[in-house]
Amino acid sequence: MSDQTQPWAERTVEMPPEAPGFRRGVAPVGVPGPRTGSGSGTPHEPTGTGWPQIEDDRPQLPPGYHWRQLRLGAHWSLIGGLFAFVCWGIWAISGRGDLTSPVVTFVLTLFIAVGLFALARLIGRVVLERQLGRVRRTARGAHLVTGAFLVAVGVAYLGQTGWVVDVWNWVAGR
């Protein structure tokens, strides 16, 4: 090593001996190497250069795994959707008018239910998977929340139907 008391610009660094065919400051571009027949040659040996491989410790999931995961628990959403549809039908028919507004209302309700399902899945991903480190294997919780929302919407439709409210009051004895 050089003397550290000299100024940095005057210090020299000892270089290892140069490899054969190496010239300082000249890149070996376009230097043809030995060619062999097509397809025959030495097998590839990894040298450790190039982009690093990302090691993923998670197992490979089979195709369609996420869709099957979303379907588990779908009966809760379907039951809630069917109940909301029947209640909406009673409300729409009892209005005895143009069905354009009730149809738009029901389609908007379904869009809100889909958004609620997506929000429940997102919250489950953040809370269960990232914060608590648990693995979600189904979508039952999100389907249950969506189904409960659709049942509440169906009850709200029935609450706006005059003759249903009258029948309920008569049965309840009010």
| Total number of domains constituting the chain | 1
Is 151 among the domain residues?
A: yes
Please report whether residue 56 resides in a domain.
no
Distance CA 164, CA 157 (A): 10
Distance CA 170, CA 104 (A): 32
Is position 145 within any domain? yes
> Is 171 a domain residue?
no
Q: How far apart are CA 95 and CA 102, in angstroms?
A: 9
- What pLDDT tens digit does each residue of the chain (174 aa) get? 555 676 665 666 666 666 666 677 777 676 566 555 555 556 666 666 666 666 666 677 677 777 777 778 888 999 999 999 999 999 988 887 788 888 999 999 999 999 999 999 898 888 877 888 777 778 888 999 999 999 999 999 988 888 888 888 888 887
**Does 130 fall in a domain?**
yes
Q: Domain of 124?
A: 97-163
Whether residue 50 lies inside any domain: the answer is no
User: What separation in angstroms does the CA of 1 have from each of 12, 24, 90, 149?
Assistant: 9, 22, 93, 77
In a domain, 146, yes or no: yes
In a domain, 113, yes or no: yes
Q: How many CB atoms lie within 10 A of CB 123?
A: 13
